C-alpha cells in the first residue's frame, strides 16, 4: 500500500513528520519473515500470514532506528526547502539591483548549480563566469561577476541541511541492508549461516555486497534492479561516494541540490525496495 503516490517530496516529508508510519505501512510475519501491506494482517492478530499461514501478531517491518532516521531526513529536507525558498526571493531582488534584470528564482538556482558543478570539476574561473553569463543572457563578464557576487551572498546550497540528508540516508540504507543480511544469514538453508552480530561486524559496502552474493547467489545490483524501477542502486552508489569524499577529503561542493534530492528519493522508496528483497531472499521455508 502506497499512500504517498502522487505527492511531491515536500508533501511526503510533511506526511511522514506527522506520522512515522504513514505511507509505509508494512508489517512482517515473525514466523517466516514475509512482509505484507495487507490491512487485515496489520490490524488483526488473528489473521493468518498469507505466506506461511501462521497466526501471530505481526511486527513492524521497519525497525525504530530506520523510522527515526527517515523522520530526521524529512525534517532536514523540509528545512532546506524553506531556506531555499527564502533564498530565492532575496536573490531575485539582489540580482535585479546589480544587473538591472528580472529573473525567475528557479532559473537563478539552475544557473548557479550548473556553474558550481563546472567549477568543482576543473576549477576554471573563466569557464565558471562564462556559464553564468550564458545562463543569464548577460552582456559582459563584468555583469557575470556582479551576478556571482549575489550568488556568493545567498548560497544556493544550504550545506548543513543537504549534508545531513545525504549522510543520514546512507545510514538508513545501511541499517536496512544489515537487517536484510541478518535475516538471510539466519535462515537454516543458507551458507554461511551467521548471527546478527557477525553480519554487523562485516564492515564496508563492498564486503556487504560480497556477503549478499555469497548468501543469495546473485549480486545486490541485479537483485535491486529486479525488485525496483529506475536508478535506485546507482543513486545509492553515487550518494555514498559523495558522502565519503565529503567526510574523508572535505569536498562539500560535491553535495548539492541534485544529490540531496536523490538521497530523499532513496529514503522515500527504500521501504518498498527492501520489502521486495526480503520477500524474495529472507523467507523462512
Secondary structure (DSSP) of 102-158: ---HHHHHHHHHHHHHHHHHH--HHHHHHHHHHHTT-S-HHHHHHHHHHHHHS-SS-
Q: What is the pLDDT of residue 141?
A: 92
Query: According to the model, what pLDDT value does residue 142 have?
Result: 94
Neighbours of 137 (CB within 10 A): 10
Is the pLDDT confidence value at 175 over 60?
yes
**pLDDT confidence tier of residue 254, bands split at 50, 70 and 90:** confident
Are 255 and 264 in contact by the 8 Å Cβ rule? The answer is no
Give me Rg for the CA atoms of the chain.
23
Inform me whether the pLDDT recorded for 21 exceeds 70. no
Q: What are the structural domain ranges in the chain?
A: 90-153
Q: What percent of the chain has pLDDT over 90?
A: 44
- At 279 the pLDDT is 95
- pLDDT recorded at residue 1: 39
Quote the CA–CA distance of 282 and 275 in Å, as a whole number.
Answer: 10
The per-residue pLDDT of the chain, averaged, comes to 85
- B/e letters for 41-58, b = 16+ CB within 10 Å, e = fewer, are bbeeeebebebbeeeeeb
pLDDT at 118: 78
133-137, 138-142, 156-160, 256-260: range with lowest mean pLDDT: 156-160
Asked if pLDDT for residue 109 goes beyond 90, the answer is: no
pLDDT in tens, 193-214: 777 788 888 888 999 999 999 9
Q: Choose the weakest-confidence range: 6-10, 51-55, 134-138.
A: 6-10
pLDDT digits (tens, 9 = 90+) for 210-230: 999 999 999 999 999 998 778
What DSSP element (H or E) covers 176?
helix 159-185
- What number is the average pLDDT over the span 79-106? 89
User: Measured between alpha carbons, how far is 192 from 210 in angstroms, rounded to an integer?
Assistant: 12
Q: What pLDDT, in 10s, does the model give residues 125-152?
A: 888 899 999 999 999 999 999 999 888 8
> What is the average pLDDT across 99-122?
85
Amino acid at each position: 500500500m502506497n499512500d504517498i503516490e502522487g505527492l511531491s517530496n515536500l508533501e511526503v516529508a510533511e506526511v511522514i513528520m506527522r506520522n512515522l508510519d504513514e505511507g509505509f505501512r508494512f508489517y512482517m510475519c515473525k514466523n517466516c519473515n514475509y512482509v505484507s501491506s495487507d490491512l487485515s494482517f496489520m490490524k488483526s492478530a488473528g489473521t493468518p500470514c498469507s505466506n506461511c499461514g501462521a497466526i501471530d501478531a505481526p511486527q513492524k517491518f521497519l525497525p525504530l532506528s530506520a523510522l527515526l532516521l527517515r523522520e530526521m531526513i524529512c525534517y532536514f529536507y523540509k528545512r532546506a526547502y524553506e531556506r531555499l525558498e527564502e533564498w530565492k526571493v532575496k536573490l531575485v531582488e539582489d540580482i535585479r539591483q546589480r544587473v538591472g534584470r528580472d529573473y525567475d528564482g528557479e532559473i537563478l538556482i539552475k544557473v548557479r548549480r550548473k556553474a558550481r558543478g563546472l567549477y568543482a570539476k576543473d576549477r576554471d574561473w573563466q569557464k565558471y563566469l562564462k556559464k553564468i553569463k550564458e545562463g543569464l543572457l548577460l552582456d559582459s563578464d563584468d555583469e557575470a561577476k556582479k551576478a556571482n557576487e549575489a550568488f556568493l551572498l545567498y548560497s544556493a546550497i544550504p550545506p548543513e541541511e543537504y549534508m545531513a540528508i545525504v549522510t543520514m540516508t546512507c545510514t538508513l540504507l545501511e541499517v536496512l541492508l544489515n537487517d536484510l543480511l541478518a535475516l538471510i544469514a539466519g535462515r537454516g538453508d543458507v551458507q554461511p549461516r551467521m548471527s546478527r552480530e557477525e553480519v554487523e561486524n562485516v564492515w564496508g559496502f563492498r564486503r556487504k555486497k560480497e556477503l549478499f552474493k555469497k548468501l543469495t547467489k546473485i549480486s545486490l545490483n541485479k537483485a535491486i534492479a529486479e525488485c525496483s524501477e529506475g536508478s535506485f542502486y546507482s543513486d545509492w552508489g553515487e550518494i555514498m561516494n559523495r558522502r565519503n569524499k565529503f567526510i574523508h577529503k572535505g569536498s562539500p561542493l560535491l553535495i548539492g541540490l541534485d544529490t540531496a534530492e536523490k538521497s530523499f528519493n532513496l529514503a522515500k522508496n527504500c521501504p518498498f525496495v527492501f520489502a521486495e528483497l526480503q520477500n524474495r531472499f529472507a523467507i523462512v521455508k
